[in-house]
């Protein structure tokens, strides 16, 4: 049996990122029967076309989710998971549910969890 290990990679390669995202997306689609996904990104550009900022997100299950980057030195972490995913796993790691959105996607629940860093 091959030994697996977890590695911290702040600047993950595009192929590895896409492999992870695709695996999660396929699980979500299989669990919900909702295949429609659409990226929603807005970029603020200066007069010379330079990027000044932006909002990144996605539309899935009839809901828009906005994502963004956070600078280093975080006081804690937040994450989201669905009723058909890994809530118990995250709770075992010390995360706690602070909100839940019923019907996202229809027939399921989206959970919002947080964990303060010591």
Where in the chain are the domains?
12-69, 71-118
pLDDT of res. 57:
84
Q: Please tell me the distance from the alpha carbon of residue 31 to that of residue 28, in angstroms, as a whole number.
A: 5
pLDDT in tens, 10-47: 999 999 999 998 999 999 999 999 999 889 898 889 99
Place of tokens 């906005």: 66
CATH class of 71-118: alpha beta
Q: Which of 75, 70, 69, 76 is nearest to 94 (CA)?
A: 76
Task: State if pTM tops 0.75.
Answer: no
pLDDT digits (tens, 9 = 90+) for 44-96: 899 999 988 777 888 888 877 777 744 456 677 888 999 999 899 999 999 99
Of 58, 59, 113, 107, which Cα lies nearest the Cα of 81?
Answer: 113
């Amino acid at each position: 049996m091959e030994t697996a290990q977890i590695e911290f990679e702040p600047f993950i390669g595009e192929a590895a990122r896409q492999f992870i995202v695709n695996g999660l997306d396929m699980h979500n689609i299989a669990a919900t029967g909702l295949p429609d996904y659409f990226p929603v990104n807005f970029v603020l550009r200066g007069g010379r076309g330079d990027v000044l900022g932006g909002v990144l997100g996605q539309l899935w299950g009839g809901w828009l989710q906005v994502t963004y980057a956070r600078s280093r030195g975080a006081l804690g972490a937040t994450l989201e998971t669905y009723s058909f995913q890994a809530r118990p796993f995250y709770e075992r790691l010390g995360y706690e549910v602070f909100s839940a959105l019923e019907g996202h996607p229809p027939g399921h629940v989206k959970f919002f969890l947080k964990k303060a860093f010591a």
